Amino acid sequence: MTNSKKLIKFLKKKKLKISFAESCTGGLMSSVITSNDGSSSIFKLALITYSNEAKIKILKVPKLIIKKYGAVSVQCCLSMVNNLSKISSSQINVSITGIAGPKGGSKEKPVGLVFIGLKFKKKIFVNKYLFRNKSRINFQKTVVNTVIKIVLSIIK
């Protein structure tokens, strides 16, 4: 059984819904979940807020956060997951923002940097990861698998 099928099984069993606000994964997170039979019973909403404008207009990330910290930051990821939870009314909300590469990184924020935010009921956290030496699609797949593992560890 794949991790995504395992996740769906556990979410169904616990009667939980999940939603995503994706940036650097560009919808792959949602696609991995919805490619499984039975996903409609646990999957509520996905927003692909790839641009800063979308983060600001749709997810209501304050412009000041983007200007001061950037779209790839703890602050932006936290704002994304908090505001997603207001829109989705899911028990589990996940936000993902990062630099998929191969270009676009800096010394402070290298290619492969990603922040994953999770809000489960009232608990919120943001984790920072750095996935090196990955192609763009492998980076995205690694992020998706990491999200699934995080959610599984929280709901078990």
Phi, psi of 86 (to 5 degrees): -75, -35
Position 129 scores a pLDDT of: 98
Position 121 scores a pLDDT of: 84
pLDDT, average across residues 143-150 = 97
Residue 116 has pLDDT above 80, yes or no: yes
Percentage, residues of the chain above pLDDT 70: 99
Residue 87 has pLDDT above 70, yes or no: yes
β-strands 123-130, 113-120 pairing:
antiparallel
Contact status, residue 116 vs residue 146, Cβ threshold 8 Å: yes
Domains of the chain (ranges, CATH numbers) = 3-10+18-155 (3.90.950.20)
Strand arrangement of the beta sheet that strand 113-120 belongs to: 43-48, 18-22, 92-98, 113-120, 123-130
Position 2 scores a pLDDT of: 86
Residue 133 has pLDDT above 90, yes or no: no
**Using 50, 70 and 90 to split pLDDT, how confident is the model at 1?**
low
Predicted confidence (pLDDT) per residue in 16-75, tens digit:
999 999 999 999 999 999 999 999 999 999 999 999 999 999 999 999 999 999 999 999
Report the distance separating Cα 109 and Cα 112, nearest Å: 8
Taking the model in full, what pTM does it have? 0.96
pLDDT, average across residues 123-133 = 94
